[in-house]
Each structure stands twice: as structure tokens, then as C-alpha cells.
Amino acid sequence: MKICSSCESEFSCGDISVEKKCWCNDYPPIFSLSEGGDCLCPTCFKEACEDKIDAYVETINPSNAPKNKAISLPKTNTLIEGIDYYIENGNMVFKTWYHLKRGTCCGNNCRHCPY
């Protein structure tokens, strides 16, 4: 068990073996170990990821989108609500981060397309 360095709640890491990694490994690797602090609980970690991604997305425009850093992150099939998409009227709406990870415009006139 660990204590969240943000909200001080107790949570389980889950990192018990090479095969069974922590739940935080499902999130984009956007934090460096040098940023300080200890582990965050799932709620605080997700909020921190959303904040960091939202700040990064604000710097993106059509001219720098094709060379964004999200393209080079390890690919995953796992989509995370609040980071990759949100639900609106029962529909999944992909966020800018999802499009940046894909790396190109799909031509479907997506609402949050950065390209």
C-alpha cells in the first residue's frame, strides 16, 4: 500500500512483478522521474495527466502538430476517458491528444483535430 503524495489517501500500486505492472503504466509516459514527488493515487494521477496533456495541447497548432511528441510515445490500444476521449450525448468524442497520438488527419472533420 502507498500514500498519495497529493491527497494522502491510501492506494495499491499493483507493481508486483515484471508481468504485473502498476495501473499507472496504462497512462501515457509523460512524467519524468526527476519531477519529484512520490506516487499519486489513481484519481490524482489521472488529474495530473489531464492537466499536463491539456497544457501541452494548448501549444499545438496545425504547423507543429505533425511533429508533436505524442507520436513517438509507445502505442497502446487502451483509450482513457478524459485523456483520449469524453462522452457527449452517449457518443465518444476524441480529444486532441488522441489525434496527436495517431499522427495524421483522418479527413473526417473531427471536432478536436489539430491538423
pTM, whole model, 2 decimals?
Answer: 0.82
Query: 16: which residues sit within 8 A by CB, 6+ positions away?
Result: none
Averaged pLDDT for residues 24-36: 73
Dist CA 19 CA 97 (whole Å): 28
CB of 94 closer than 8 Å to CB of 50: no
Residue 73 cell numbers, joined = 510515445
Q: Kindly report which listed range (6-10, 29-33, 111-115) carries the lowest average pLDDT score.
A: 29-33
